[in-house]
Amino acid sequence: MMQDALIELSNLSKVFYTEELETWALNEIHLDIRRGEYVAISGPSGCGKSTLLSLIGLLDTCTSGSYRLAGQDVAGLGSSERAGIRNREIGFVFQAFNLIGEMTVYENVELPLTYRSGLSGRARRRRVEEALDWVDMPHRSRHFPAQLSGGQQQRVAIARALAGRPSVLLAHDLYSDPRCRKRLSSAATSGAARRQGGR
């Protein structure tokens, strides 16, 4: 394992069981990712990409193996502990965006921040406004998802993931779009600079 790794996976496996068979979605994965690295995971449909993202994103647990995030062993944590770390450390841009239709753009981006203890309303507002600015969407802050194009919804999902200034940013099936790659790279770079500056 590299000493400066942000993500460390060792012998990570995920098995799905039914009454009649077991399916190995992942088999003894080894992966180290440094802070600041950009990594693309590619492969044919059904090879385990989504499962791996779910494990890295703490949306699911592994069957065996170890997972260390920023030096902390997170493989055996319970659901509430994983949720807390996920909220603080991981930004996830889902393939279907997962915006809440009854909430405005502003409210969708702010929602994960409302679960952050110690983050004032003023600090949340500043982060939401910055995140929307990163993706050129401040003029749509009062709109609802149904009033946006697919590309605009994608930008809101990116803003929501970045507003928390995560250590890890996971994007599911978005990098095939060159415009999305540019948005993620530029916004993540801006966000990292602000995170390091403590703003």
Phi, psi of 177 (to 5 degrees): -95, 115
**Do residues 112 and 162 make contact, with C-beta atoms less than 8 angstroms apart?**
no
Please give the single-letter amino acid code of residue 83.
Answer: A
Query: For 4-28, what is the mean pLDDT?
Result: 93
- Residue 188 has what pLDDT? 58
Q: Are 10 and 1 in contact (CB under 8 A)?
A: yes
pLDDT at residue number 160: 94
163-185 pLDDT, tens digit each? 999 999 998 876 555 666 666 66
Which is it for strands 22-34 and 72-73: parallel, antiparallel or unpaired? unpaired
- Could you state, in order of their start, the residue ranges of all structural domains in the chain? 5-77, 94-196
**Domain spanning 5-77, CATH architecture:** 3-Layer(aba) Sandwich (3.40)
As a whole number, mean pLDDT of residues 1-22 equals: 88
Please give the class, per CATH, of domain 94-196: alpha beta
pLDDT of residue 61: 94
pLDDT at 198 over 70: no
- State how far the Cα of 9 lies from the Cα of 109, in Å rounded to an integer: 30
Could you tell me if 68 and 74 are in contact, meaning their C-beta atoms sit under 8 angstroms apart? yes
Helix (H, G, I), strand (E, B) or coil at 23: strand
Question: Could you report the per-residue pLDDT of 112-157, keeping only the tens digit for each?
Answer: 999 988 889 999 999 999 999 988 999 999 999 999 998 899 899 9
Question: Tell me: the pLDDT tens digits for 30-68?
Answer: 999 998 888 888 888 889 999 999 999 999 999 999 999
**CA contacts within 13 A on the Cβ side of 178:** 0
pLDDT of residue 196: 46
Instruction: With beta carbons less than 8 A apart as the criterion, state whether 32 and 1 touch.
Output: yes
